[in-house]
Amino acid sequence: MRRWLLPLGLIALLFGLWQVASSTGVIADALSLEDFLVPSPVEIAESLWENRSLLAENAWVTLREMLLGILAALVVGIGMAVLMHRWQLIRDAAYPLIVASQTIPIVVIAPILVVWFGYGIAAKILIVALICFFPITVNALDGLRSVDPETVKLMRSLDASRRQRFWRVEAPAALPSLFTGIKIAVVVAPIGAVFAEWSGSSSGLGHLIQSDTAYFQVARQFATVAVLSALALALIGLTALAERRVVTWR
Amino acid sequence: MSPQDGKTRTVDPAPLRADTTGDGILLRSVGHAYGELQTLAGIDLEAAPHSVIGLVGPSGCGKSTLLELLCGLQEASDGEIAVAGATAAEERLARCAFMPQRDLLLPWYPAIDNAALALRNQGMGRREAREAAGALFERFGLAGFEGVRPAELSGGMRQRVAFLRTLVAGKPLLALDEPFAALDAITRAEMQEWLAAALRTDPRTVLLVSHDVEEALYLCDRVAVLSARPARIVAELSAPAPRAEDRDAAVTDPAFVAAREEAMRALREGSA
């Protein structure tokens, strides 16, 4: 109860304060703005309802970019982690590169990728995958390497081949850590998707926020942000659920 | 060696003939070094088939290393090792079942799959392997716990599953590395009695590393006392009543107490 009530209470309190501050015009006056530029939570909720089909359409576009991007990152990330785990040479060669690749801000790389791969979904998937690849790879590799050397000796003494050791020990041992990586990936995926859409697109929640800026549609922008964060929360929830179904021994 | 002289033993200098050892083991002048650090020096040890040999020594003396060398998990720097006729490390690995200090049960497998792990690795199908391992659960006091994950088992039960896993592997030699060290005193005594009973009904060649002289003298036919690093064998003792049914009576018997004192003296001198 307490786990739910306390944050919900805090949210209610913050929204209440916001409602009062914006409907009395305190914030707008302080910032010397027109009232419509500072929508109240109620106005945002109204906008959310009025634009529900528009938001749903664009949410689907963004969700698809995120899901396909995460999927691509999972395939490549887990593959890379397994290769780096199996061959020290590959790990030594690729690991610094993977870390270094994270120092290039996605904001900078996104427009270039759009130039190369066009305004279609391919560039978006690639950008989301790029941002999700790192946490997945690093956590999967950590998980694979987390196996106690004593367990390795034990498995050798119990006649396990390299392949059996992987599937019976290393792969299951890596799962909790892999899920940690996926949770981080799911949180950063919307960032990747929005930057990808800002770099060139004709639909999606990021695109919607961008075009609404031009028309001072602040209420709808907030509504879009709410939808985007709801998507991310739903993905985190699904990941946690999947983890509980898969990692049953914890 | 003869059972009368408990202490010293000369090693036959004839060349190592693997076929003469049967299911037993033979170590000749085995030495081992990690880089500059000499951990073992000139270890000679012999175990007849189905005998239980104990290794006691001060902590950090290289007991566990000796066990790993024997099992073929590492290659010895010096000397010769034969296990059930095999001298190459890879072949020794196939003939030894190693039980580490910690149970190291795989948390994602239920008890039965942990016990059957070696059989699965050897290529047996899941159902068949479960049947083979499951047949022993009753005798090991584990009936009804086949489907239970290790996290839900008590320490003693986990250790029994770990021992079962070692036994089920079907190897001629069991190499046990302080199998009960992590248990509380009462559970440890119970487990010793239990292991004694298990070995009475299913005799195997066993090498048992222990830091507990009493445990070694109760469970083993013979106990080798190792010195501090670089470890040598400083004494070999015959146990007065190996794996006696009445443990309490056995360990309080004057002959047992005398053997324990002798082992303790050898330990003290060896670690000085």
* Of the partner residues A158, A161, A249, the one whose CB lies closest to the CB of residue B118: A158
pLDDT higher than 70, residue B7? no
For all residues of chain B together, what is the average pLDDT? 85
Whether A194 and A209 have beta carbons less than 8 Å apart is answered as yes
Q: Rounded CA gap, B45 and B28, in Å?
A: 7
User: Which residue is associated with the tokens 């305004």?
Assistant: A119
* B34-63 pLDDT, tens digit each: 888 888 888 888 888 889 999 998 887 788
Q: Cα angle vertex B73, ends B72, B75, to 5°?
A: 65
Whether B120 shows a pLDDT value over 80: the answer reads yes
B248, amino acid identity: D
Q: Which of B162, B39, B157, B150 is nearest to B100 (CA)?
A: B162
Whether pLDDT at B6 is above 70: no
- Closest residue of chain A to B70, computed from CA coordinates: A157
Say yes or no to pLDDT of B269 above 90. Answer: no
| Rounded-to-integer distance, Cα A29 and Cα B191, Å | 79
Q: Is the pLDDT of residue A1 over 80?
A: no
Residue A232, amino acid: A
pLDDT at B14: 46
Task: Return the pLDDT at A228.
Answer: 94
Average model confidence (pLDDT) across chain A: 92
- pLDDT at residue number A173: 95
- Phi first, then psi, for residue B126 (nearest 5°) are -60, -45
Contacts with B44 (C-beta within 8 Å, 6 or more apart), sequence order: B9, B11, B27, B28, B29, B30, B233
Residue A32 pLDDT? 84
Cβ contact, residue pair B93, A156, below 8 Å: yes
Q: Where are the domains of chain B?
A: 18-104+172-271
Q: Does A156 touch chain B (CB under 8 A)?
A: yes
Mutate to test the interface with A, among B64, B92, B104, B159 (most CBs of A within 10 A): B104
The reply to whether residue B96 touches residue A156, judged by beta carbons under 8 angstroms, is no
Q: What is the CATH number of domain A39-246?
A: 1.10.3720.10
What values do phi and psi take at A27, rounded to 5? -65, -45
Name the closest residue on chain B to residue A150, using Cα atoms: B100
Query: Under an 8 A CB cutoff, do B97 and A158 touch?
Result: yes
**pLDDT tens digit sequence for A205-244:** 999 999 998 888 899 999 999 999 999 999 999 999 999 9
Which of B199, B208, B207 minimizes the C-alpha distance to B181? B208
Q: 3-class SS at A214?
A: helix
| Spatial distance between the Cα atoms of B171 and B131, rounded to a whole number of angstroms | 18
A13 has pLDDT over 60? yes
For residue A51, the cross-strand partners are none
**Helical segments of B96-211, H only:** 111-115, 117-121, 126-134, 155-168, 185-201
For residue A96, the Cα-to-chain-centroid distance in whole angstroms is 23
- Is the minimum CB–CB distance between B95 and chain A shorter than 8 Å? no
Question: pLDDT for A171-210, tens place per residue?
Answer: 999 999 999 999 999 999 999 999 999 988 888 999 999 9
Contact B249, B231 (CB under 8 A): no
For B205-254, write each residue's pLDDT tens digit. 999 999 889 999 999 999 999 888 888 888 888 888 888 888 888 888 99
Please check whether residue A195 is in contact with residue A107, taking contact to mean a CB–CB distance below 8 angstroms: yes
DSSP state of B12: P
> Cα-flanking dihedrals φ and ψ of residue B50, to 5°?
65, 15
Chain B residue with Cα closest to A162: B121
Would you say residue A21 has pLDDT above 70? yes
B114, containing H or E segment: helix B111-115
What's the half-sphere exposure (Cβ side, CA atoms, 13 Å) at B215?
Answer: 26
B185 touches A: beta carbon within 8 Å: no
Q: Which residues of A touch B97 (CB under 8 A)?
A: 157-158
Mean pLDDT of A42-56: 93
The confidence score (pLDDT) of residue B21 equals 53
Residues of A in contact with B151 (CB under 8 A): 249
Of B104, B117, B175, the CB nearest to A148: B104
Q: Residues, chain A, total?
A: 250
The band of B1, judged by pLDDT with boundaries at 50, 70 and 90, is very low
Please work out, in degrees rounded to the nearest 5, the angle formed at the alpha carbon of residue A224 by the alpha carbons of A221 and A225.
90
Q: What percent of chain B has pLDDT over 90?
A: 27
Q: What is the pLDDT of residue A24?
A: 87
pLDDT of the residue at B156: 85
DSSP-assigned letter for residue B20? G
CB of A186 within 8 A of CB of A232?
yes
Does the beta carbon of A52 lie under 8 angstroms from any beta carbon of chain B?
A: no
Stated length of chain B: 272
> Which residues sit opposite B80 in a β-bridge?
B28
Helix spans in chain A (H): 2-23, 26-30, 41-50, 52-86, 88-101, 106-117, 121-145, 149-157, 162-165, 171-198, 205-214, 218-246
A81-90, A141-150, A240-249, B197-206: least confident range: B197-206
Q: For residue range A38-47, what is the model confidence (pLDDT) as tens digits?
A: 888 999 999 9
| Cβ contact A164–B121 (<8 Å) | yes
User: What's the CATH code, domain B18-104+172-271?
Assistant: 3.40.50.300
Of A133, A144, A141, the C-alpha closest to A77 is A133
> What pTM, to 2 d.p., does this model score?
0.82
Please state, in angstroms and as integers, the Cα–Cα distance from residue A10 to each residue in A4, A222, A225, B30, B81, following that order. Answer: 10, 19, 20, 70, 70
- If phi > 0 it is left, if psi is from -120 to 50 it is alpha, else beta; for residue A216 that is left
The DSSP secondary-structure symbol of B256 reads H
Structural domain boundaries in chain A? 1-38, 39-246
What's the token pair of residue A72? 């691509």
CB contact under 8 A, A168 and B117: yes
Under 8 Å between Cβ of B223 and B231 = no
Kind and range of the H or E element at B255? helix B254-271
